[in-house]
Amino acid sequence: MKLSTKLTLAYTVIVVVVSAMLSLTLYLELRRSQREVIRDQLGDILNLAVTQIDGSFHSLIVSPSDSSVNNTFYRIIQENLATIQGTSDAITRIYTLRQQADQRVVYVVDYQPDEQQVATVGQAVDIITPLLTNGDISATMVEEAPLNLPSGDSVLYGYAPIYDPLGRQDGALVIALDASSVIASEIRARNQALLIFAITLVVVGVLGFWLRRQTTPIGDLLNGAQRLTQGNLEQRVQIRRKDDLGALASAFNTMADSLQARIIAEQQALGELNISNQQLHERTHTLEQAIQEQQRLSETVRKLSLPVIPIADQIIVVPLIGTVDARRSADLIETLLQGVATYRSRVVLIDFTGVPTVDEAAAELLLQALEATHLLGARTLLVGIRPALAETLIHIGADLHTIETAATLQDGCFVP
């Protein structure tokens, strides 16, 4: 979903929700205030009217036979009810009631302009409102909302307690007030709220269309940026506006031009670098081959510099030429052991005639070579030792009694 679409939907939803809440709040507040007015009006009527009902007379009306104008108490209360109803055209019904010991709510004194419709004493009340259901009318009380009667009328019921001279509650005065005007006002308020909401929807639609036109370039910029990041260096946005979005589009195109030029330059430099790397790789490969060849030659020279020559049955000669260092001495040990094992030698002659010098580390390894060949059962003679080697052996503390020597290779061959 495009950003412009999201912004438009978000704006539309927010405004519609706020408008609906305001319209609903306005309607509920108007309905509450109108109902409060009529409830206050009915409460005032009840407070004034209940004073006209004599509680002592009312307590003496207890049986259906008392429902007659011949009964003075009944007639007086009924006349008072008629007077009360005559004070307001909004009063649609007025009567008194009493709750029996069996919890039944019954009429006591009823008044109707048509005498034939008057309820008798003890007759069950036909309309039981929520307040009557609770059964506690200890003070003037008015229903929270009007009731819709089967006849289609809307009336609001209110109750005021009737007390006898001893302060005992003997029943309650009931007044039903016509609430048709309130319902009509509520309908008008609802219609006004719906009209306001409908007008708001139209305004929101117009503003949403305008907002979408304003935010569409943002989506174009976003799409252009996405294509540019995907490698489409030719991507440009075609926005011809003179506001901030137009300036932003121009800046985007300038940035795209600069980015394209920079990437092309970097690609060229990268190509040159790849060529240089290839040349370097080839040179490195050539150098590695030369080094490997040098190592092979060195290994060949090393092996040739320590030859093992069998001169007789079970007698081998190892002639040494050049300087003998620690590494060459280590190779000498390996060569001696392999020669003794290969030729099953009993006598090994190591010729030092061609060795000008031997360092101390090499001399110590040389002694280890003598011990190693001795462990293999071979007798080792050092021939052609020069003074420098003799001094080195003395300096490192070699046991000269265990070292057999001969002046020359020829002498060594004839040592018993």
**Which pLDDT value is given to residue 159?**
94
**Which pLDDT value is given to residue 249?**
67
**Which pLDDT value is given to residue 371?**
86
State the Cα–Cα distance between residues 176 and 84, nearest whole angstrom: 12
Residue 318: strand pairing partners: 350
CB 157 within 8 A of CB 80: no
State the Cα–Cα distance between residues 349 and 303, nearest whole angstrom: 18
- Most distant pair of Cα atoms in the chain: their distance: 176
**Which pLDDT value is given to residue 242?**
65
**Which pLDDT value is given to residue 65?**
87
Residue 218, pLDDT above cutoff 80: no
Say if 3-185 and 305-413 have the same CATH topology.
no
State the Cα–Cα distance between residues 129 and 244, nearest whole angstrom: 66
Residue 94: strand pairing partners: 111, 175
Q: Would you list the domain boundaries of the chain? A: 3-185, 233-301, 305-413
3-state secondary structure of 106: strand
Strands 154-163, 169-178: pairing kind: antiparallel
Who wins on pLDDT, 377 or 28? 377
Band (pLDDT 50/70/90 cuts) for residue 1 is low
The pLDDT of 313-339, averaged and rounded, is 82
Residue 138, pLDDT above cutoff 70: yes
**Mean of the per-residue pLDDT values for the chain?**
82
pLDDT > 90 in the chain, percent: 14
Q: Which of these ranges, 130-144, 162-176, 224-238, has the smallest mean pLDDT? A: 224-238
**Which pLDDT value is given to residue 57?**
92
**Which pLDDT value is given to residue 192?**
79
Band (pLDDT 50/70/90 cuts) for residue 47 is very high
State the Cα–Cα distance between residues 416 and 412, nearest whole angstrom: 9
**Which pLDDT value is given to residue 77?**
92
- pLDDT tens-digit readout, 90-126: 888 999 999 888 888 999 999 988 655 788 999 999 8
Q: What is the fold, at CATH topology level, of the domain defined by 3-185?
A: Beta-Lactamase (3.30.450)
80: left (phi over 0), alpha (psi -120 to 50) or beta: alpha
CB 279 within 8 A of CB 312: no
Q: What is the pTM of this model?
A: 0.47
The amino acid sitting at 273 is L
407 — phi, psi (to 5°)? -70, -45
Residue 388, pLDDT above cutoff 70: yes
The pLDDT of 308-327, averaged and rounded, is 83
Who wins on pLDDT, 190 or 146? 146
Band (pLDDT 50/70/90 cuts) for residue 12 is confident
**Which pLDDT value is given to residue 161?**
94
The per-residue DSSP string of 339-403 comes to: HHHHHT-SEEEEEEEE---B-HHHHHHHHHHHHHHHHTT-EEEEES--HHHHHHHHHTT--GGG-
Who wins on pLDDT, 322 or 177? 177
CB 384 within 8 A of CB 410: no
| Ranges 212-216, 229-233, 341-345, 386-390, most confident | 341-345
- pLDDT tens-digit readout, 396-413: 888 777 788 888 877 777
For domain 305-413, the CATH superfamily is STAS domain (3.30.750.24)
